[in-house]
A and B are shown apart, each in its own frame.
Chain A
Amino acid sequence: MKILLQNIDVPGIQNFEVYRRLGGYSAVEKALKTMVHSEVVKEVKDSGLRGRGGAGFPTGMKWFFIDHTTDKPKYMICNADEGEPGTFKDRYLMQHNPHLLVEGMILSSFAIESSTAYIYIRGELFSILHILEKAIGEAYANGFLGKNILGSGYSLDIYCHPGAGAYICGEETALIESLEGNRGNPRMKPPFPAVAGLYGCPTVVNNVETICNIPWIVNNSGAEFAKLGTDKSPGTKLISACGHIRYPGVYEIELGMPVNEFLYSNEYCGGIRDNHQLKAVIAGGSSVPVLPADLILRTPKGEPRLLSYESLSEGGFDSGTMLGSGGFIVMDETTCMVRQLLSYARFYYDESCGQCSPCREGTGWMEKILHRLENGRGRMKDIDLLASVAKNIEGNTICPLGDAAAWPVRSFIHHFRDEFEWHVNEPLACLNMHQVTV
């Protein structure tokens, strides 16, 4: 069952005519001609759709929280800042089926009674921004955007806004700051964006993939959507798979698919690259805990692990993980876990906005200690020091980037402690191993 990638390979689907011929914008017609705002919100609530940006928050609920008591304008924002390591699904959707996002944006904006919407897209992706602007232009030309859409009295403008290279701007309040022309420093919550977001007005921020589900839900009803996937994880999900697998790429799966099937079926990852074995997987983008082979394939209870919010988190921090953004990073037995972790530590150090000291200082410490371990200059007590720095960041920052930086460190040490110890005990061997040759 495909919702998001259904027509992705149809030649010319980027063009309005082709998209329209295949039933595109029929959900906008349906909503604007036969539904009121709150009915769209209700369908999305009934669907059980959970945000696909990483946190998994129920979308209908988020929309329901929008403050309608004020006469301030309301803003709909699409989060297209995709930057979580391992995640590359939103770009794929926007590049190949931009009208799906535009249609979803019209419906989402209508649902929250917003007449101005922004797509915040990471600055590196100007080529995609052009694709989106072309699709938006076509939607205006065909009467699906602008004033009094389809004679319904509803008006909407959508604009694209580029970032300029900052992972933190994917965090919704940092994104709002950035859209206001500021540094991407996250805001304290509350107030939540639903009450005071962009320019102090009620705002919804949703991920690209989340929004791309809305046309299907409006066309087919929330109840139909809820029948897909599992009880707690309705619908389908894009999984972007990379690393040591035969077929890296973006796949749409019905939630609840066994990890084993996803990893080894030729329809998906196609198994581990030739002659190698599975060592570990980061299942939901680099911010979620890593799991060793046995725990990603089976839960601690010995049941098959499924690609769903609830199955992946089974076992808690000790032996579970999270679905996150669906960035599925596969590592085979050749992977040095210390070196791999160092690259993520460097990432979070680089991307910390610097606002909260535990994160600003702690990410630097973690990077430094890992660098030392990796280069054969580590001490045994460094391993616990590393874990304790991570623990001290966790929960002590304004936004979850601190947690996101801490979890990989804690889980890599938790599951692969022997490799860290080996780096201390065998500094020369580890230096030899890491000689980069051209």
Chain B
Amino acid sequence: MNFQFSSESIELISKIIKRYPEGRQKSALIPVLHIAQAENHGWLTTEIMNQVAEMLQIQPIEVYEVATFYSMFSLKPVGKCIIEICMTGPCCLSGAEELLAYLESKLGIKAGETTPDGMITLKKVECLAACGGAPVIKNGFNYYENMNFKKADLLLEKCTHESFTSHSNPYHQSL
């Protein structure tokens, strides 16, 4: 497997690096990892992280440190769609646990797992800061608020569509 950033992304990354003072290109690390992950179906390989290190002229370990710290980065393969369900206090007051149980039984997997067909990963996350619309699900870069079983069904249905993926480049306008 040979990972290669698209030429479009390389251009975008060079623009992003210019947002920081000279010699501070490491600041672009998180943005670059977001782009890299989107281009690799939602997860980061060691090869990719090494490439990012080279790109930003930093040590590979500096990239690993960051990639393992932030919950939005995955170091193992994920499904085409990731359904992230908020499990913090306010969402629990509004039925997040029931919603999780529903999704688990409907998909036949536990939180943290991916359906055997590779379509959907179910993931528990902490506060998405949308507590007024609890319970909340995040899919890709979209929030789905005031969720219930019926709306969850509609979202799952959407996920079966070929073109519907959680891994589009977040810097592209059409999220």
> Which residues on A are within 8 Å of B, measured CB to CB?
73, 82-88, 90-91, 116, 122-127, 130, 157, 159, 161-167, 178-184, 199, 240-244, 248-250, 282, 286, 327, 329, 331, 335, 339-340, 343-344, 346-347, 350-351, 353, 436-438
Contacts and interface: CB of A to CB of B under 8 A. Distances in A.
B98 A243 contact: no
B62 A243 contact: no
A327 B130 CA distance: 11
B110 to A, nearest CB: 14
Contacts of A353: 69
Contacts of A184: 69-70
B116 to A, nearest CB: 21
B30 interface: yes
B55 interface: no
By CB atoms of chain A within 10 A, which of B69, B71, B128, B141 has the most? B69
Contact of B98 (A157, A286, A436): A436
Contact of B129 (A87, A241, A347, A351): A87
A123 B72 contact: yes
B12 interface: no
Nearest to A120: B30
A125 B138 CA distance: 10
B75 interface: no
B142 interface: yes
Nearest to B127: A85
B159 interface: no
A111 B143 CA distance: 36
Interface of B: 19, 21, 24, 26-31, 33-34, 56, 58, 62, 65-66, 69-73, 87-90, 92-94, 97-98, 101-102, 105, 125-134, 138, 141-143, 170-171, 173, 175
A242 B98 contact: no
B15 to A, nearest CB: 10
Interface of A is mostly: mixed
Given A166-B69, A340-B93, A123 B34 contact: yes
B66 A183 contact: yes
Contact of A126 (B19, B62, B175): B175
B131 A331 contact: no
Contacts of B175: 126-127, 130
B129 A244 contact: no
Contact of B90 (A123, A179, A243): A243
Contact of A344 (B29, B31, B89, B130): B89
Contacts of B34: 123, 162, 164
Contact of B27 (A180, A286, A327, A335): A180
A88 B30 contact: no
A300 B102 CA distance: 43
B22 to A, nearest CB: 11
A313 B164 CA distance: 49
A180 B70 contact: no
14 contacts: A85-B131, A88-B129, A124-B128, A126-B171, A178-B30, A181-B30, A243-B131, A243-B134, A248-B132, A329-B90, A335-B93, A347-B88, A347-B89, A437-B101
A184 B33 CA distance: 15
